[in-house]
């Protein structure tokens, strides 16, 4: 996808009301390799989540928007940094492309690079981690394309759909 069609901007509460965000979190395919969607999602729970995260210095959340054929930017996903730690100068990357028709077009890699640069160049962090379900091939490819290297695996780290899944830990150093 032409990168000029992608706009990454600070996440706002309005994103929750004006997009399909809540539906993304209830979609079992979208969340199958994510540590979320365990509890039924609703506006109150998600509004509380947003309000706590948007005021926190431990999280930096952005909306991924893409210009559609009507020349309007639509909210297709979120990308962010979590557990930001300014002592050890590390954080954990999170990404969710909720609108399925926009997957596989390079938006994941673009956003992954954006948020990694934000961690290093804006927040002066030293290391970004990504915790990835071992089965999540698109995520692993995003990590590797953006210069992350695999540090190891955590066995039975995630419980999902009645069984445990291993977690691959990827990281990139500034
Ligand atoms: C994972 C995710 C962010 C990837 O974003 P994306 O825009 O679909 O990925 P891209 O188009 O940038 O492609 C990234 C790489 O994955 C590959 N890829 C994309 N979809 C794929 C698929 N279904 N199967 C295999 N490889 C795939 C691409 O070929 C590319 O590989 P390359 O660098 O070798 O060319 C996105 O699919 C997503 O949000 N999925 C649901 C939520 C999720 O799993 N989040 C990540 C938690 S760590």
Please choose from 94, 142, 171 the residue to mutate so as to test ligand 1's pocket, defined by most ligand atoms within 8 A of CB: 142
pLDDT digits 0-9 by tens, 81-96: 999 999 999 999 999 9
pLDDT at position 25? 93
Q: Work out the angle between the directed axes of helices 107-117 and 137-145 (0-180°, nearest 10).
A: 50
Q: Whose CA is nearest to atom 3 of ligand 1?
A: 108
pLDDT, mean over the chain: 96
Record the tokens describing residue 33, joined without a space: 């390799």
pLDDT digits 0-9 by tens, 39-88: 888 999 999 998 999 999 999 999 999 999 899 999 999 999 999 999 99
pLDDT digits 0-9 by tens, 101-150: 999 999 999 999 999 999 999 999 999 999 999 999 999 999 999 999 99
Please choose from 64, 65, 108 the residue to mutate so as to test ligand 1's pocket, defined by most ligand atoms within 8 A of CB: 108
Dist. CA 141 → ligand 1 center (Å): 7
pLDDT at position 105? 97
Q: Could you tell me the pTM of the whole model?
A: 0.96
**Which class is domain 3-126?**
alpha beta
Judged by DSSP in three states, 1 sits in: coil
| C-alpha atoms less than 13 angstroms from C-alpha of 100 in its C-beta half-sphere | 8
Instruction: Indicate the domain borders of the chain.
Output: 3-126
Q: What percentage of the chain exceeds 70 in pLDDT?
A: 100
């Amino acid at each position: 996808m032409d990168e000029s069609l992608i706009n990454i901007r600070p996440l706002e509460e309005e994103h929750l009301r004006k997009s399909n965000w809540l539906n993304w979190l209830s979609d079992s395919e979208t969340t199958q390799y994510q540590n979320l969607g365990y509890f039924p999602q609703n506006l109150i729970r998600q509004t509380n989540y947003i309000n706590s995260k948007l005021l926190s210095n431990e999280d930096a959340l952005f909306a991924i928007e893409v210009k559609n054929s009507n020349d309007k930017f639509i909210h297709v996903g979120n990308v962010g940094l979590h557990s930001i730690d300014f002592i050890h100068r590390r954080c954990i990357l999170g990404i969710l492309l909720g609108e399925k028709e926009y997957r596989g077009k390079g938006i994941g890699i673009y956003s992954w690079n954006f948020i990694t640069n934000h961690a290093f160049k804006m927040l002066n962090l030293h290391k970004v981690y990504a915790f990835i379900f071992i089965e999540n091939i698109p995520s692993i490819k995003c990590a590797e394309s953006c210069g992350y290297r695999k540090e190891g695996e955590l066995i039975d780290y995630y419980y999902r759909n009645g069984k445990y899944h291993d977690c691959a830990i990827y990281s990139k150093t500034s």
